[in-house]
Amino acid sequence: MLAPSNIKISFDFDGTLDRKSIQNYAKELIEKGYEVWIVTSRFGDNKKYQEFFQTSINVDITNNDLKEVANSLGIPEERIHFTNMDDKWPFLKFHDDFLWHIDDDWIENKNILKYTKTKAISSLGANWKSKCERLIKKKLME
Protein backbone atom coordinates (compact mmCIF):
# COMPACT_ATOMS: atom_id res chain seq x y z
CA MET A 1 0.00 0.00 0.00
CA LEU A 2 1.30 3.46 -0.95
CA ALA A 3 2.11 5.98 1.80
CA PRO A 4 0.73 9.55 1.62
CA SER A 5 4.29 10.91 1.48
CA ASN A 6 4.69 9.22 -1.93
CA ILE A 7 1.73 11.06 -3.43
CA LYS A 8 2.31 14.42 -5.14
CA ILE A 9 -0.58 16.79 -5.78
CA SER A 10 -0.71 20.34 -7.06
CA PHE A 11 -2.91 23.38 -6.77
CA ASP A 12 -3.25 26.41 -8.99
CA PHE A 13 -3.12 29.62 -6.95
CA ASP A 14 -5.36 32.36 -8.40
CA GLY A 15 -8.99 31.29 -8.30
CA THR A 16 -8.07 28.10 -6.44
CA LEU A 17 -5.60 28.06 -3.54
CA ASP A 18 -6.39 31.70 -2.76
CA ARG A 19 -9.78 30.42 -1.50
CA LYS A 20 -9.94 29.61 2.22
CA SER A 21 -11.86 26.33 1.75
CA ILE A 22 -9.19 25.03 -0.61
CA GLN A 23 -6.42 26.26 1.68
CA ASN A 24 -8.01 24.28 4.52
CA TYR A 25 -8.05 21.14 2.37
CA ALA A 26 -4.42 21.65 1.30
CA LYS A 27 -3.41 22.08 4.96
CA GLU A 28 -5.25 18.86 5.86
CA LEU A 29 -3.38 16.98 3.11
CA ILE A 30 -0.01 18.37 4.20
CA GLU A 31 -0.71 17.36 7.80
CA LYS A 32 -1.47 13.82 6.58
CA GLY A 33 1.91 13.74 4.81
CA TYR A 34 1.04 14.37 1.15
CA GLU A 35 3.51 16.30 -1.02
CA VAL A 36 1.63 19.46 -1.96
CA TRP A 37 2.80 21.84 -4.69
CA ILE A 38 1.63 25.14 -6.16
CA VAL A 39 1.78 25.30 -9.96
CA THR A 40 0.78 28.77 -11.08
CA SER A 41 0.74 30.72 -14.34
CA ARG A 42 2.12 33.74 -12.52
CA PHE A 43 5.48 35.28 -13.30
CA GLY A 44 8.22 34.39 -10.85
CA ASP A 45 10.12 37.64 -11.26
CA ASN A 46 10.11 41.11 -12.83
CA LYS A 47 12.44 40.25 -15.72
CA LYS A 48 10.11 37.53 -17.02
CA TYR A 49 7.18 39.94 -16.76
CA GLN A 50 9.06 42.60 -18.73
CA GLU A 51 10.12 40.07 -21.40
CA PHE A 52 6.57 38.75 -21.79
CA PHE A 53 5.02 42.18 -22.20
CA GLN A 54 8.04 43.56 -24.06
CA THR A 55 8.28 46.58 -21.81
CA SER A 56 10.98 48.32 -19.87
CA ILE A 57 8.50 49.56 -17.27
CA ASN A 58 9.81 48.59 -13.85
CA VAL A 59 7.16 46.45 -12.18
CA ASP A 60 7.41 45.05 -8.69
CA ILE A 61 6.30 41.42 -8.82
CA THR A 62 6.49 40.21 -5.25
CA ASN A 63 3.94 37.38 -5.14
CA ASN A 64 3.61 38.20 -1.44
CA ASP A 65 0.04 36.89 -1.30
CA LEU A 66 1.10 33.54 -2.76
CA LYS A 67 4.16 33.31 -0.50
CA GLU A 68 2.07 34.15 2.56
CA VAL A 69 -0.40 31.35 1.82
CA ALA A 70 2.41 28.90 1.02
CA ASN A 71 4.16 29.74 4.31
CA SER A 72 0.97 29.46 6.35
CA LEU A 73 0.27 26.02 4.84
CA GLY A 74 3.85 24.78 5.09
CA ILE A 75 4.55 24.54 1.35
CA PRO A 76 8.31 25.06 0.85
CA GLU A 77 9.55 27.46 -1.82
CA GLU A 78 11.02 24.59 -3.88
CA ARG A 79 7.48 23.24 -4.32
CA ILE A 80 6.23 26.41 -5.99
CA HIS A 81 6.47 26.44 -9.78
CA PHE A 82 5.84 29.61 -11.80
CA THR A 83 5.04 28.89 -15.47
CA ASN A 84 5.48 32.57 -16.41
CA MET A 85 2.20 32.60 -18.36
CA ASP A 86 3.00 29.35 -20.19
CA ASP A 87 0.59 26.43 -20.05
CA LYS A 88 0.90 24.17 -17.02
CA TRP A 89 0.66 20.87 -18.87
CA PRO A 90 4.32 20.78 -20.08
CA PHE A 91 5.55 21.02 -16.47
CA LEU A 92 3.09 18.32 -15.39
CA LYS A 93 4.02 16.13 -18.37
CA PHE A 94 7.73 16.39 -17.56
CA HIS A 95 6.98 15.78 -13.86
CA ASP A 96 4.60 12.90 -14.49
CA ASP A 97 4.29 11.76 -10.88
CA PHE A 98 1.53 14.18 -9.82
CA LEU A 99 -1.72 12.43 -8.98
CA TRP A 100 -3.88 15.47 -9.63
CA HIS A 101 -3.86 19.21 -10.26
CA ILE A 102 -6.78 21.39 -9.21
CA ASP A 103 -7.39 24.57 -11.22
CA ASP A 104 -10.17 27.04 -12.02
CA ASP A 105 -9.17 27.36 -15.70
CA TRP A 106 -11.07 24.92 -17.90
CA ILE A 107 -8.55 25.24 -20.76
CA GLU A 108 -5.67 24.35 -18.42
CA ASN A 109 -7.67 21.38 -17.13
CA LYS A 110 -8.56 20.20 -20.64
CA ASN A 111 -4.91 20.32 -21.76
CA ILE A 112 -3.64 18.62 -18.59
CA LEU A 113 -6.09 15.77 -19.19
CA LYS A 114 -5.15 15.58 -22.88
CA TYR A 115 -1.36 15.75 -22.64
CA THR A 116 -0.38 14.36 -19.23
CA LYS A 117 -0.95 11.46 -16.84
CA THR A 118 -2.07 13.95 -14.17
CA LYS A 119 -5.79 14.10 -13.42
CA ALA A 120 -7.22 17.61 -13.69
CA ILE A 121 -9.96 18.74 -11.34
CA SER A 122 -11.96 21.95 -11.62
CA SER A 123 -11.99 24.02 -8.45
CA LEU A 124 -15.23 25.64 -9.60
CA GLY A 125 -17.49 22.63 -9.22
CA ALA A 126 -19.29 21.82 -5.99
CA ASN A 127 -17.73 18.35 -5.84
CA TRP A 128 -14.03 19.17 -6.33
CA LYS A 129 -13.07 17.83 -2.91
CA SER A 130 -14.85 14.51 -3.34
CA LYS A 131 -13.10 14.03 -6.71
CA CYS A 132 -9.74 14.66 -5.02
CA GLU A 133 -10.56 12.24 -2.23
CA ARG A 134 -11.66 9.48 -4.64
CA LEU A 135 -8.39 9.75 -6.58
CA ILE A 136 -6.35 9.66 -3.37
CA LYS A 137 -8.27 6.66 -2.04
CA LYS A 138 -7.79 4.80 -5.34
CA LYS A 139 -4.06 5.59 -5.38
CA LEU A 140 -3.59 4.48 -1.77
CA MET A 141 -5.17 1.11 -2.61
CA GLU A 142 -2.62 0.40 -5.37
Q: What is the Cα–Cα distance from 27 to 43, expressed in whole angstroms? A: 24
**Average pLDDT estimate for 93-99:** 97
Q: Which of 76, 77, 81, 78 is nearest to 93 (CA)?
A: 81
Per-residue pLDDT tens digits for 65-82: 999 999 999 999 999 999
Please report, for the chain, the start and end positions of each structural domain, with discontinuous segments joined by +. Answer: 4-141
User: If one looks up domain 4-141 in CATH, what number appears?
Assistant: 3.40.50.620
Q: Give the C-alpha separation, 126 to 122, whole Å.
A: 9
Give the global pTM: 0.92
pLDDT band of 52, cuts 50, 70, 90: confident
Alpha helix stretches (DSSP H) within 5-105: 20-32, 46-53, 64-73, 89-94
